[in-house]
Structure 1
């Protein structure tokens, strides 16, 4: 699918709640393809391979998320068949998402896809692709915090929330990227696919990009803060949050509820979307992740402190739920915390 003899047009969608950071970062990266490596490393004239443009409902200045102003180079009616369309993440609350906020953008996305454009999204931008019907019956990913929102509003989407990058549709012409820095994976993937693998490797080296091959699970919070609307279950969740490290917490919370065991368990699953025991596991694992990030305790000690007598079981469960072993998690995430802590102490 590479097009070595022409410059590809990459349309970056700007809507009022678009994140300027992702949009402008993609702009810079795509502008670098065929230019920076050639000039900085090989000492030869640049040969740009991609031309990013900011596209909005109409050309001119517009305000996006956080009150940042951008200049859209053209309106939807002036950009009818770009080679690639990128939808950046949207700074919206998962709980307040509603259809119908960007009708012109939805119509434009649908038209671009029909004309043959490669349609892509980063993070929560996948919600617009879903609203445009481009993900109906297709696999897709999204930032892990928006997984429930996607499932609620677009149940026809086959969500693969753990994956960093998913290609789907006829000709694999719809590409969704997960959360946060996975826009980098999206950029590298598109550069490799459309401009060549060597170009993608050049960009990865120049920008120090890493491929998030472990998916989103290691970064995801296993427990959401929202409580159930069922008062009894909400009270049970609160009690478990403070007592998950006790022996047999589920039996205790059932006894506190005054309900028959079978009734309580059925009601908990209906309200919380998981069993009470699974909820306890998520609480325990989140606590374990925090201790792995902040201490040098041995794994056996951490397992016991969060409620597991069997450290082997804890290791297996941690790997299955988090996507890496406790030791791997500590190596990946404790370093950042230590670096920030050491830096703040040295500056005081």
Structure 2
């Protein structure tokens, strides 16, 4: 790592499909250590510790995916040697191969890593690490919507959805963050690792950032519920979506399919990537999540509505799937619904104040109940 008083160069990779909010958000956060905290508390900017710049295959400006102009500071040949290379998320079709589309970027990433740089990706940016051949037989993380993009196209990748950050490679010089706003966590981690924990905490305070420590498990099961192209299995999926509370739903689907049991199970798993019973649980738990987020129903009633007579069994399944108990899931994801319900009678000005108060109260309750099921 660079000496504590040396210039830390942070190259932020840009491609035409990049998300500009992540690109420029990273630029702002990496510009902050040593500079902004002092300005906030004393009125005088301190010495900037990190020096971000935008690198691309060419310095010619281009429109990012959301229509904002990007003007790279350097091309790959002319940019200063980076200590860190960050790869923001970019738009790629989930599951698709991008082989050959980003050869200049992949080659530069591979060379930068060989020269000692740390490589860091956010969200779908991890796909470019795969293109550079740096994820073979490695643990990784990526946005839950793009898991198949890694696992379908790069050999041996082991995706960890239960972690906010995953470190891989020699000396842990590859770090990946999963969700759409995970670039904030990624930036704070890199600031702490290269500059110091104190400076990372100062940046978090200046920008009012909150660490996302629970990974993506609460969201990942959505991908398993996509409709298939197998007409027989698709009809069973459609039936189950309306009848998931049915007793013995797998047996009912087998009967509807007209297939022998072993053939149905094999065909269902091939079409969906899941065993029929696992699929039933995933669908029921998604329905339970919606009820936890949007209603005030008791957890016992939600378990019953989702198709579970045994609330304890429901709770164990829910925690295994999401990493949270149903009660903690409601605290974390039901806050907006609760805030809106308590503010409908107020005018626009009072509504804003009430939402802020309710959100703060829920945060206090959540802190007070940590570790309690």
Q: TM-score, normalised by structure 1?
A: 0.95
Partner residue of 2:29? 29
**Cα shift at 1:237:** 1.3
In structure 2, the residue matched to 1:231 is 231
Kept after mapping to 2: 8 A contact 1:268/1:274? yes
Report how far residue 29 of structure 1 moved: 0.5
CA shift in 2, pair 1:344/1:181, >3 Å: farther
Is the CA contact 1:10–1:86 (under 8 Å) kept in the aligned structure 2?
yes
Q: Which moved more, 1:47-56 or 1:227-236?
A: 227-236
Matches within 5 A, 1:172-251: 172-224=172-224, 226-251=226-251
For residue 205 of structure 1, give the secondary structure of its aligned residue in structure 2.
helix
Q: Could you tell me which runs of 5 or more consecutive residues in structure 2 were left unpaired when the two chains were aligned.
A: 352-373
Partners of 1:169 and 1:26 in 2: CA distance = 23
The answer to whether the 8 Å contact 1:10/1:53 transfers is yes
Partner of 1:47: 47
Deviations 1:234-255 (A, max 9, x none): 2111111111112211111111
- Tell me how many residue pairs correspond in the alignment: 348
Q: What is aligned with 1:5?
A: 5
Partner SS state of residue 119, structure 2: strand
Range with bigger deviation, 236-245 or 218-227: 218-227
Residue segments in structure 1 that go unaligned for 5+ positions in a row:
none
Between 1:309-318 and 1:63-72, the stretch displaced more is 63-72
Match of 1:311 in 2: 311
Further displaced range: 294-303 or 245-254:
245-254
CA contact (8 A) 2:85 2:119 kept: yes
By how many angstroms is 1:124 displaced? 0.3
Indicate the residue corresponding to 1:140 in structure 2.
Answer: 140
| CA spacing shift, 1:284–1:27, aligned 2, 3 Å | same
Separation of aligned partners in 2, 1:337 and 1:102: 42
How far has the Cα of 1:81 moved from its partner? 2.1
Q: Report the CA distance between 1:276 and its aligned residue.
A: 0.8
Preserved CA contact (<8 Å) 1:140 1:176: yes
Match of 2:124 in 1: 124
TM-score by length of 2: 0.89
RMSD (CA atoms): 1.8
The answer on whether the counterparts of 1:27 and 1:53 sit within 8 Å (CA) in structure 2 is yes
Structure 1 partner of 2:286: 286
The separation in 1 between residues aligned to 2:155 and 2:235, in whole angstroms, is 29
Q: CA deviation at 1:115?
A: 1.0
* Equivalent pair of 2:95/2:150 in contact (CA under 8 Å): no
CA distance in 2, matches of 1:10, 1:101: 24
Could you give the per-residue CA deviations for residues 184-243 of structure 1, whole angstroms, max 9, x where no partner exists?
Answer: 111111000000111111111111212222111123343445322222112111111111
Q: Which range moved further: 91-100 or 297-306? A: 91-100
1:87-102 aligned at under 5 Å gives the runs 87-102=87-102
